[in-house]
Structure 1
Amino acid sequence: MADTRRALVEAATEVFAEHGVFAASLVEVTRRAGQRNRGAVHYHFGSREGLLAAVLEQHAAFLAQREGELLEHARTTPDDDLGSVLEAIVRPAVELAETGPSGRRYLVIVGELVEEYDRVHPDVAEALRHTGGYDVYALLEDRMPPLDDALRNERLALVTGFILRSVADRARQVDSPGRAQLPTERFVRNLVAMAAGMATAPPVDV
């Protein structure tokens, strides 16, 4: 039973990353998991959403732990230091991507879910929350320049999307090489600096 669930989660991670969370075929998931019963996903997870939540739980503990460690450091830095806070978002994701194919595929999936958050089922949203992030974003909001609510929320959404797309794109490049990639540490520092620039850009008046 446990082996079947694990095989389905591993296959789903591949298929969701390759074809997209909302477009992927559950039949393809069961096929890659070596299951002849087309109802295996529903039997073990109840639904597509249940399977997706299980996929997200795979690396949630790693992300939450690393983020928490970096957040503790960020809290010791000056009140105007956004870089250390953003590093608590960027570095765990990059580290996960470098653990292997499963981590890279996971980040591609998370990036899509954040991009399409309005379409995400509540059970999947709850699984996303387990990866951490809320305490980091609370500190990030505190350290951003004064902005009205609408502009601050827009910037946070754009910064988040930019970070996750950038890390996911880098992850994809490992399996399908394209343009040359920066070394890991330089990539992290550059992405943090660019995200900080987005967050601290001068306010825009109507």
Structure 2
Amino acid sequence: MTSPAVRTYHHGDLRRALIDEGLQLARTGGPGAVTLREATRAVGVSPNAAYRHFADRDALVHAVAHGAQRALADAILAHVAETPAGLSPRDAAIERLRRVGAGYIAFARTERGWFETAFFTHDAQPSEGIVTLDDEIVAPFRLLMDTLDAMVDAGALAPDRRPFAEWACWSAVHGFADIAVHGPVRWQPPEVVDALAAGVVESAITGVIGAPAPPPRTS
């Protein structure tokens, strides 16, 4: 008798079906839960069938990581899409960066399995100081870079402060997201984590833009 959890696979895109099942496994159990045996069992094919599409478990995890990265980028874009109308181009550009950071942290807190999977694997030698997978800039990192470029265009970020600004932003936000999920911050009440997250994002923005010049001293 077939288990109710098994969705028998008849035809179609088996590779896509296995990735989708891998994403479901990762969502609840992180990258460690993604195995060819579990994915093929859920789809309803033999483990040997998977080897026509994936050389080994690592190859499946690799593909699932791509999907988790895309889910993270989509979640960030949903936050960015809620940027209030009526802001000046400069303020709107800064607000979008703020929402990129907030969306990243929110995703980590609500989708722990996918967050853990998204950067579980990457190219061993990142190209030109960027995070890549299969020689492509990963979607969340590309989104951050584009947001910073738009800030330069809007006059919100000085061109000479743009190089490698993505690393300052990502280090701060990813670091906080990680300790919010795995570290002592996870024991704090949600409202405390929200306040801490907002503070980290603001600090990252200030650090990238640069502190405003002090007012002139009066005699």
TM-score normalised by length of structure 1: 0.61
8 Å Cα contact 1:162/1:195 also seen in 2: yes
Q: For residues 41-96 of structure 1, what are the alpha-carbon distances to aligned partners after superposition, in whole Å with 9 as ceiling and x for unaligned?
A: 543456645643334325257425414404x5388345257651322212222332
8 Å Cα contact 1:115/1:161 also seen in 2: no
Gaps of at least 5 residues in structure 1 are: 19-25
Gaps of at least 5 residues in structure 2 are: 1-8, 212-219
* Same amino acid, percent of matched pairs: 12
Taking structure 1 as reference, are residues 191 and 116 closer, same or farther at Cα in structure 2, changes over 3 Å only? Answer: farther
Q: What is aligned with 2:168?
A: 158
More helix by share: 1
Q: What is aligned with 1:104?
A: 112
Taking structure 1 as reference, are residues 83 and 39 closer, same or farther at Cα in structure 2, changes over 3 Å only? Answer: farther
Structure 1 residue identity aligned to 2:168: L
Alignment of 1:52-201 (within 5 A): 52-58=62-68, 59-60=71-72, 62-63=74-75, 65-70=77-82, 72-73=83-84, 76-77=87-88, 79=90, 83-99=94-110, 103-110=111-118, 118=126, 120-122=132-134, 125=136, 128=139, 132-142=143-153, 143-148=155-160, 152-173=162-183, 180=188, 183=191, 184-201=193-210
8 Å Cα contact 2:123/2:132 also seen in 1: no
Structure 1 residue identity aligned to 2:78: R
Structure 1 residue identity aligned to 2:202: A
Q: Which has the higher contact order (CA 8 A, sep 6+)?
A: 1
Q: Give RMSD over aligned pairs.
A: 4.3
SS at match of 1:153: coil
Q: CA deviation at 1:199?
A: 0.5
